Amino acid sequence: MPELLIELLSEEIPARMQARAEADLLKAIGDGVNAAGLSHDTGFAWSGPRRLGVCLQGMAARSEDVREERKGPKTGAPDKAIEGFLRGAGLASIDEAEIRSDPKKGEFYVAVVETPGRAAEDIIAELVPGVIRGFHWPKSMRWGEGELRWVRPLHRITCVLDGKVVPFGIGGLASGNETEGHRVHGRGPFTVTGWEDYRTQLETDGKVRLTREDRRAHIGTAAKKACAKQKLELVEDPGLLEEVTGLAEWPVVILGDMDPAFLDLPDEVIRLSMRTHQKYFAVRDPKTGQLAPHFVVVANIAAKDRGKKIAEGNSRVLSARLNDARFFWENDRKKGLDAMAGELHRIAFKEKLGSIGDKVERVAALARELAPKVGADPDLAERAARLAKADLVSEMVYEFPELQGVMGRYYALEAGEPADIADAIADHYRPQGPSDDVPTAPVSIAVALADKLDTLVGFWAIDEKPTGSKDPFALRRAALGVVRIVLENGVRVAISSGPVEQHFFEFDQMMDPPTNEEMHWMHRETLKDIAGNKVSEISDHPRRKAEFKERSKSHQSELNVSSVKPLTVESGLLAFFADRLKQVLRDQGKRHDLIDAVFALGTPPQSGEAGERPPAGQAAPAEAPAQRAAVSANDDLVLITRRVEALTGFLATEDGANLLAGYKRAANFLRDEEKKDGKRFEGAPDRALFSEETERALHSAIKQARGDVDAALANEDFEAAMSALARLRGPVDAFLDDVMVNVEDGEVRQNRLLILAAIRDALHAVADFSKIEN
């Protein structure tokens, strides 16, 4: 069967664009021939510094004939309907249509449109120019006097079908069957008839390694071999390897030397200078693990002197770069971190949120508050936070922004700061992506959490939240970082209370300072004490001002805070964290419905002690431990995760699966009856109305289970809570099988519905089982 070969030869394509363009071209050509009715067996693509190519094998010689029937209006329909049908079907007269009949609809017109197949050559000659014109590049250009746009000027278009040229023209270029090889070692041109002929000529005489996979493997193997020959070890860099794969058609690996005097610079500076400016790989001594005074460069030419001159030239360029780096390094060391930190107030962070210096002050205060919760020394955490951003004004970070935090660590160690502080400066930006490790040292955790939480709280306070796909300040990444730090370190920090809520309050005051009257009120009022931190129930400023103005008019001195909505973490930020936690748990393979069941958990209805009805005139009992656990679990990410894991294990058991089925039965029946009666059944059943032994048994089982669940949840023992629920399986099954709920006696019916409600409430103490799929 015919084979289609297409190659687009141009000037150098940026390395970062090649892989995507390769995939896009294959998709565009493949989708195009499929849409035209041309079948093919396989297709593949390749890309390089100067070329994109596609090959489709096992193609049909022509597209299939198409017979299409289009149903039209009834016979006798108005002329306008007939005319529209003829235009759509491409018929000249209604006489060309067939008349068919249907027993129900009567007679109607049918147009039979037969489209003959087309030769593959004609389809491709029409398709390829359209693909080239509409091809998307991140950046493209025009050249000469033409209007055609491509990433770089096109030189040749090779298009061969079954060994023959598919003729077409575009942008002043005519398609042909010739291509070029390496500019120096084998330019050609080469006449090709198909993929095997094309590959053989270019990879031998043309000195071109066509595929990215081949070039990548060759560079990796040759680089390791060159290092091993000198008893050295390549410092692997997958990102750099991917980049140099797109820079050389005929890659030649050369081991070069650098001045050993530069090894006193930080390793990260040397490696980044090599990588960013020169595209060199660093080399280390396997015995010491330290960088060696060598580098690996990938050339695009096989020099007669085996690359000696190339290595010498690259060494001179590297020395110039490292001399600049040494100058920055020495200047920064003379200046010191404290002096740098003093300049942060000159750098804007975000309008309404002040400068970087303002942010540092907030982060330092929050880090100090968080430190005891993560096992860190508050003084060290505050000091680390005050120095964490200082290197942003250093000359080294100005030249290499990727080294923010890293250079701060070196400067801190130079200044004699404790290692915990230095490490926190380097680690507080982490994690910066899904593959990045989270900080694990207590001081680093405190500063990293404080930095990310300050950013999130600040942007929520000024109402600049991510919308859709837009997230210019990487707030989703910051929230994911908080979630990962908390989960992977087992940090027990409530997001909606304690230091974080205090941070919200401080932002509120910063954005709208309180009046004297407000200050007087705040000092008088009793502040809530959540997790050992004072949190004021101050309102958001527009409502607060209106409240004070109204109070002044009526000459009242007390502020009714209950009528004013507080500015709290729960103003959307908690839901934002919940979404990020769901993402993390789903990535770990957790079931989405179980995650939703735990997140939907709210405060259970108060129904007395394990289903007991309070005596008449007596107040409802105090909040049960299960309720307190439910409330605290709403923003304790570690507890949420543990609850999901326990629920997953429970439902994997036979008791768990059967109890879920019983719950569904009871909840569905209860929902229907509540809809019928127009009310929700709440409260405890009356034991005096029990007439069946199964009623008494289930009521006793629920009472015992609720007590055990409350105790287990209070101790955060979710496995024990699930075990307590498992004991309900037998009594629930017996009740549902043996007891008639909808009896004629209205009091008995309601009492039995309250038993079903007690089943629902007992399970909802652990999770919202209505969210769980069967």
Residue range 139-156, pLDDT digits in tens: 999 998 888 999 999 999
Q: Grade residue 636 by pLDDT with cuts at 50, 70 and 90.
A: confident
Going by C-alpha positions, the residue among 690, 689, 670 that lies closest to residue 679 is: 670
Report the pLDDT averaged over residues 651-662.
86
Residue 521, pLDDT above cutoff 80: no
pTM exceeding 0.85? no
> Residues 547, 553, 558, 563: is their CA dihedral positive or negative?
negative
> Which residues, 6 or more positions from 622, have their beta carbon under 8 angstroms from its beta carbon?
none
Residue 671, pLDDT above cutoff 90: no
The pLDDT mean for the chain works out to 84
Cα–Cα distance for residue pair 716/419, rounded to 1 Å: 35
> Which residues, 6 or more positions from 232, have their beta carbon under 8 angstroms from its beta carbon?
255, 283, 284, 285, 286, 292, 294
Looking at per-residue pLDDT, the higher value among 496 and 570 belongs to 496
Query: Can you give the pLDDT at residue 541?
Result: 40
Say whether 102 sits in a helix, a strand or coil.
Answer: strand
643 and 629 in contact (C-beta within 8 Å)? no
DSSP lists the bridge partners of residue 470 as: 467
Report the pLDDT averaged over residues 334-345.
94
Backbone φ/ψ region at 493: left (φ over 0), alpha (ψ -120 to 50), beta:
beta
Query: Can you give the pLDDT at residue 610?
Result: 36
Query: Can you give the pLDDT at residue 528?
Result: 31
Report the pLDDT averaged over residues 7-36.
95
User: DSSP letters along 604-638, please?
Assistant: PPP-SGGGPPPPTTPPPPPPPHHHHHHHHHTT-HH
- The encoded tokens of residue 277 equal 């400016």
341-365 burial code (b ≥16 CB/10 A, e <16): beebeeeebbeebbebbbbbbbbbb
Query: Can you give the pLDDT at residue 571?
Result: 54
C-alpha angle 7-8-9 in degrees, rounded to nearest 5: 110
Looking at per-residue pLDDT, the higher value among 212 and 692 belongs to 212
Going by C-alpha positions, the residue among 182, 254, 253 that lies closest to residue 217 is: 253
Residue 60, pLDDT above cutoff 50: yes
Report the pLDDT averaged over residues 663-674.
86
Report the pLDDT averaged over residues 488-502.
72
Backbone φ/ψ region at 463: left (φ over 0), alpha (ψ -120 to 50), beta:
left
Going by C-alpha positions, the residue among 195, 157, 162, 196 that lies closest to residue 177 is: 157
Lowest mean pLDDT among 17-26, 44-53, 748-757: 748-757
415 and 337 in contact (C-beta within 8 Å)? yes
Query: Can you give the pLDDT at residue 512?
Result: 54
Cα–Cα distance for residue pair 580/587, rounded to 1 Å: 11
Report the pLDDT averaged over residues 644-659.
87
Lowest mean pLDDT among 80-84, 105-109, 426-430, 542-546: 542-546
The H or E element that residue 384 is part of is: helix 378-388
Report the pLDDT averaged over residues 528-552.
39
Cα–Cα distance for residue pair 12/9, rounded to 1 Å: 9
Going by C-alpha positions, the residue among 161, 187, 193 that lies closest to residue 50 is: 187
> Which residues, 6 or more positions from 400, have their beta carbon under 8 angstroms from its beta carbon?
269, 272, 273, 276
Report the pLDDT averaged over residues 214-235.
95
742 and 768 in contact (C-beta within 8 Å)? no
Report the pLDDT averaged over residues 398-413.
94
- The encoded tokens of residue 149 equal 């746009």
Alpha carbons within 13 angstroms on the beta-carbon side of residue 457 total 29
Report the pLDDT averaged over residues 633-649.
81
Report the pLDDT averaged over residues 668-682.
86
* Residue the block writes with tokens 């084979």: 3
Residue 612, pLDDT above cutoff 50: no
Query: Can you give the pLDDT at residue 623?
Result: 42
Highest mean pLDDT among 235-239, 499-503, 512-516, 753-757: 235-239
Cα–Cα distance for residue pair 113/155, rounded to 1 Å: 43
Backbone φ/ψ region at 424: left (φ over 0), alpha (ψ -120 to 50), beta:
alpha
Looking at per-residue pLDDT, the higher value among 486 and 512 belongs to 486
Residue 743, pLDDT above cutoff 90: no
Alpha carbons within 13 angstroms on the beta-carbon side of residue 6 total 28
Alpha carbons within 13 angstroms on the beta-carbon side of residue 166 total 26
Lowest mean pLDDT among 135-144, 513-522, 706-715: 513-522
Going by their DSSP bridges, the two strands 164-165 and 4-10 should be labelled as unpaired
